[in-house]
Each structure stands twice: as C-alpha cells, then as structure tokens.
A and B are shown apart, each in its own frame.
Chain A
C-alpha cells in the first residue's frame, strides 16, 4: 500500500523519466493487489472531494480554531507567524521564466499566491517587484488565477495587455499574431496597441488581432476547455485547431498554408491529438503525413 501511495504521488508529477515510467509498468504488471491499491489511492488523491476538503482547510484555518481551540491554537499561531514573514519577504519579488515542454501542461504557483496553468509548449516571463506584477506570455496559452494584493497584475501578450485586479482569466497567444483573452471571474481591462481599452465582465471574451480589439461570443463554462483537454468552437480556422492539438502532442504538428484557413466548428478532444487528427482527416479532406520528426497536415490533391 505504501508503494502504491508513492506511485500515486509520482503520477502527479509533471516531469517523469522513461525509466520511472517503465518501473511503474513493471510494478503494475506484477499483481492485481498492486493495481487495485493504486486505483483506490489514485481515485482518492484525484477526487474533487479531497480537493475541496484540502482547499477548505487551506483557506479557513481560523474558523477551525474556534471549533477545537486546543488542537489548533499552536499550529495556527505558527502558520500566522510564517504568513507574516512570507508577506514581509517572499511574495514581492518573483523573477523567473516558466516554460513547459510540448505535451506537458503544468500548474505553477507564483510567489504572491497566484497560480498559472500553462499549456504545453508555453513560455511565460514573470517579473514581480514590490510595486507591480508583470508577466509576458511569449508563446502558448495560460490560465491565470490571480490573488488580489493591492498591486496591479499585468499580462502582456503580443501587442496587447491585460490588467487584472484579482481574478481568473485565460490568454491564448497564437503564432498568427492573434491573441484571445477570456475572463472567468473578477474584472480585467484589455488594452490594444492604439491605447483603445475594453473592460471585461465574467464570461466575456475578446480577440486581439493586428493591435485591435474585437468582442467574441461569450463563455459558458467555469474554466477554459483546454485544461480538461477540449477545444470547443463555433467558428475557427483549422490552423487554430492544429495549434491547440500541437500543444498536447509529443511530436510537432504543422499544417500547410493551403489548409490552414479552412473553417471548422465543433468540439474537439485536443488532449488526445491522435483522435483529433483522425477526425479532421476524415471530416475535412486533408491528409496527415507522419515521419519520425513531425506530423504534417496537407490539403489532399484532387
């Protein structure tokens, strides 16, 4: 059982080696008892119930103290002292570059308590100073959950900027120069190149292209689809879809200019690039050519 628990912890890591993966396969292959123990503990670890229980305890230590003063008095005093120290020192400064390998989306915590979920193949440069918090999305897609601490939080992507006051929002920077911003909670102001700005309400979505802002159809869900490995669109280019699956693919996926502009709609499981490739090959009359280096999508010659 202890082995199973260690494997569950291992499976939650973003950077696993092939040697470890092979050891996991061996261990799972050894016995039914191993597989069942792993299934039970993994189900528990990933359950929303544990996420909720842990999140509750993380955010509400004071309330708990009242219900059982003796047991919690000391730990929360220590926690309060740590929190005070943390406020004095760490959160103000955070200078680093966060990068994800292709096919490896990752959750990252920033020093100020905000979190970022980066898609595969993304690069985010973080510069937090005592006065302001600044991040530049150089490529890829990022979902921000920003902690409000009195400092502005600005995300720059392409020619635009998003300014935040404690909120959850998504920025998708596409290689075509187009950037999409979607707001899930709170309030943000988006600025284009010409100082033109747009204030977003939760559920709003805006597209920045060639420095200009344009409103897009709103959102219907509580967090971006790509986090669960989906891409849902009423009207997008095939090039856009391919860029989304490319982030989940271990092999680079490229698309010929002739096929890039084709319009698509529907719901695609981009977390599983192979199934999407099979689908677009069948549905959009394109051909998928794979070699040892990359996967290329081209228009089928008629």
Chain B
C-alpha cells in the first residue's frame, strides 16, 4: 500500500485532542488534576492504538469515547468504594470548581430548566435521554417529523446549557 504509517503518526498534533479531552473531563469531574489525568490517558491510548497498526481516521470520535469511558470509570470506582456523595467529594477537593455538572446542585438547576421548557420539548428530551429512544421513534410516537424532533433536542440542550451557565455564575446562592 502507498501510505506510510510513520508519516501519519508524525503528522498528528495531539494538543487540540488533549485540550478537548481535558475540557470534557473537567466539566464532568470538576477537578483540574483528574481532568488532566483523563486527557493524558486518552491521548496515550490513542497513540498506543495507532501503534498497534490501526489508522485513526476518527480521531475526535475515538478521543470522545475514550475520555467518556475514563470519566465513567472514575465515577464507578468512587461508587464501588462507597465514598461520600459526588457533590461533596468534589466540593471538598476543589473549593471553586468551574461549572461542574455532577452533583446535587446541578441536578436541581437542570430540573428547574427542564420544568420551564415547553412540555413537548421536555417530553422529547426525557425520551431521548432517559429512555434512549431514537429521534425516528420519537417522531413516530408523537406524529412529528424527524427534523422537528432533532430541532427540539438541540434547542433543549442549548436551553439546559444556558440555565447551567447562568446558575454557575451565581454559584452558592440559593434564591
């Protein structure tokens, strides 16, 4: 075959992948040190994977899956060892986590945002996130077009993100 694997390897710039994995992990875990570990481990596994002879043509897709797995693995380990609740571990380990998504306060914020949504959008988000229904199945159930369902999901996700960011700024205040 014509391609030279070593050339492909050398051409990979890992900095953006590291940054991506770090950002993702930081948002879930809330701790810079843990997020750094996840990011490093993600890239390490990608490098090893490439060394095994595979040509990586879906770099970000793979990085995403690996980083996600590492984050879940972290939470699983914490639960397995019966540690204190997530929100508390995170809060005590890092007094000012920037917009950590896990934890009790986050659940409350997201519940509020869901409750404020139009009922149809909320229903679609719940079906997609909790019941793992496909957009096509939701469209069939609710008599909508697939495009319309997809639009509700993306709009809903943006609503949730906005609520989350706003709450993040006034962190600690319970109005």
Contacts and interface: CB of A to CB of B under 8 A. Distances in A.
Interface of A: 1-2, 5-6, 8-9, 11-14, 21-22, 24-25, 28-29, 32, 35-36, 38-58, 64, 68, 71, 74-75, 78-79, 107-109, 115, 220-222, 228-229, 271-272, 274-275, 278
Secondary structure dominating the interface of B: helix
Interface in B15-34: 16, 19-20, 23-24, 27-28
Contacts of A107: 131-132
B131 A115 contact: yes
Interface string B54-85: 10011111001000110011011001100000
Contacts of A68: 115
A52 B103 CA distance: 10
A47 B101 contact: yes
B107 A5 contact: no
6 contacts: A9-B154, A11-B61, A28-B20, A52-B107, A75-B119, A272-B45
A58 B48 CA distance: 42
Contacts of A22: 57-58
A25 B27 contact: no
B151 to A, nearest CB: 9
Given A5-B154, A39-B23, A41-B157, A32 B114 contact: no
B101 A49 contact: yes
B106 A9 contact: no
B64 A11 contact: yes
A54 B58 contact: no
Interface string B103-124: 1001110110011000100110
Contacts of B103: 49
B110 A50 contact: yes
A23 B145 CA distance: 23
A48 B30 CA distance: 14
Nearest to A109: B131
Nearest to A222: B79
A29 B60 contact: yes
A32 B128 CA distance: 28
B60 A49 contact: no
B95 interface: no
B52 to A, nearest CB: 6
Contacts of A221: 80
A55 B135 CA distance: 18
B166 interface: no
Contacts of A50: 101, 110, 129, 160
Interface in B132-167: 132-135, 137, 150, 153-155, 157-158, 160-161, 164
Contact of B161 (A11, A41, A64): A41
Nearest to B54: A274
A41 B150 CA distance: 15
Nearest to A8: B157
Contacts of A6: 150, 154
B64 A42 contact: yes
A35 B23 CA distance: 9
A172 B28 CA distance: 32
Contacts of A56: 107, 111
